[in-house]
Amino acid sequence: MNNKPVPHPNCPDELRVNRMVAMAHVEDVDAAASFYTLLGFECESRYSRPDGVTNFVGLVSGQAQLFLAIASGPIVPSQQAVLFYMYSSDVAGLRLHLLANGLEDGGIPPGQRPSGLEGPMPERHAVYNLAHPFYMPHGELRVQDPDGYTILIGQLSP
């Protein structure tokens, strides 16, 4: 895999963006941050409003970073149009860990269900069976966080 960026003729190298951190808007920053600790994230920074409500946290786990900020409007899980792709060295073990810590078992991942099993899908706090798509043959785990964001976690090696 070639990790070298392809230069774009309209942006000089010295001006190029060279780091990005995803930021998700959530209903309850403390609850969301607590969920992400189950995936190994630790709180690196936290800011609160004068009334004591946490309105931002910066999370880190190895080279992975995620910002969580309080939403200004309602969170509608079915309308979350972003997914987070993460990696773990043991997706099967991580699935068991999440189930042991209260996540709902979502069963067969969406898009892989046979036509007779199209019942309602959990939208919050669910972890699904491992899948083995062509691009992640060692396993991929699908998780829904408390705000309905989809997290896919791939295992790069057995």
> Which pLDDT band holds residue 65 (cuts at 50, 70, 90)?
very high
Domains defined along the chain, listed by start = 13-154 (3.10.180.10)
- Which range is least confidently modeled, 12-16, 36-40, 45-49, 118-122? 118-122
pLDDT at 33: 98
- pTM (two decimals): 0.83
Comparing 116 with 134, which gets the higher pLDDT? 134
Query: Is the pLDDT at 70 greater than 90, yes or no?
Result: yes
> Which pLDDT band holds residue 116 (cuts at 50, 70, 90)?
low
pLDDT at 27: 94
pLDDT tens digits for 120-152?
A: 555 568 999 999 999 999 999 999 999 989 999
Contacts made by residues 96-100, CB under 8 angstroms, sequence distance 24+: 97/38, 98/38, 98/127, 98/143, 99/127
Q: Which of 88, 96, 29, 48 is nearest to 64 (CA)?
A: 88
> Which pLDDT band holds residue 8 (cuts at 50, 70, 90)?
low
pLDDT at 77: 78
- Give the single-character DSSP code of 120: P
pLDDT at 26: 95
| Pairwise CA distance, residues 90 & 105, whole Å | 18
